[in-house]
Structure 1
Amino acid sequence: MKRLSEKEEAVMRAVWKLDKAFAKEVREEMPEPKPHINTIATMMKRLVDKGFLKFEDFGATYRYYAALTKKEYTTLYIRPFLSKLFGGSIKDVVAFFAEEEEISVEELKEVIKMIEDKEK
């Protein structure tokens, strides 16, 4: 499996959020401007072909669900990408987002709390 495009990841985020979803439900989760329903259906069929989605057949329609969890996807594709980009340093990843003001002090405190809670 290859890493997903930005639009495919948006579809997967919607499916992960909804657990199981029809194309119209996925479309509702998409940001504005929402893609046409046929575009969503095509992307979902492509994600099935790529092995990221599975489906249940309801005759004239399909209900889709993820073939891998968001955590599994992150572990397989995002972590190695960040590792290459930042030389394996999570500290450098966080520092980058802090310097670019993409993460607030409150969000950093939440991350620190998560780490502290995990260590207990």
Structure 2
Amino acid sequence: MKELTKAEQQVMQVLWQIEQGVVHDIIEKLPTPKPAYNTISTIVRILVKKEFVGFTAHGKTHQYYPLVSKDDYSKQFLNTFIGGYFGGSFKNLVSFFVKEENMDIDDLDALMTHVKQNIAKDENSTD
């Protein structure tokens, strides 16, 4: 899966939120100052080429929708990030945040509880 630029990620965030829409729908959800129509149209066409976005043509209008789920992209992005900056080790990532963000024992306990709940939920969903 290809990596997205910041602008492409911003457009994808909107498409994941609205699930489908035309360029005007995407622009409407973006923060002020709103980018130009042609800018967003170009970004969406790039996302189509990268196979992140599909479309349905309705005359001259195109309705766009995500082809890649937010979860799939998040997993790939996180794996790339952890691999590039933390030697592929989640333990090194957590250690970094403990040290740099001054996490206390309560924060770590909350993190561990959250991780355990997600593992249990994943195990139950595969049964």
Which TM-score band (shorter chain)?
A: 0.7 to 0.9
RMSD: 2.7
Unpaired runs of at least 5, structure 2: 121-127
Other-structure match for 1:67: 67
Which segment is superposed worse, 80-89 or 39-48? 80-89
Query: How do 1:1-120 residues align onto structure 2 when only pairs under 5 Å count?
Result: 1-97=1-97, 101=101, 111-120=111-120
> Could you report, residue by residue, the CA deviation over 1:15-60 in whole angstroms, capped at 9, with x for unpaired residues?
0111112111111221222211111111101110111100011112
In structure 2, the CA distance between the partners of 1:18 and 1:115, relative to structure 1 (3 Å rule), is same
Counterparts of 1:9 and 1:81, CA distance in 2: 15
TM-score, normalised relative to structure 2: 0.75
Unpaired runs of at least 5, structure 1: none
Identity of aligned residues (%): 33
Runs of 4+ residues deviating >3 angstroms: 94-101, 105-113
Counterparts of 2:64 and 2:84, CA distance in 1: 32
TM-score, normalised relative to structure 1: 0.79
Amino acid at match of 1:28: E
Count of aligned positions: 119
3-state SS of 2:80 partner: helix
3-state SS of 2:54 partner: strand
Q: Which has the larger radius of gyration?
A: 2
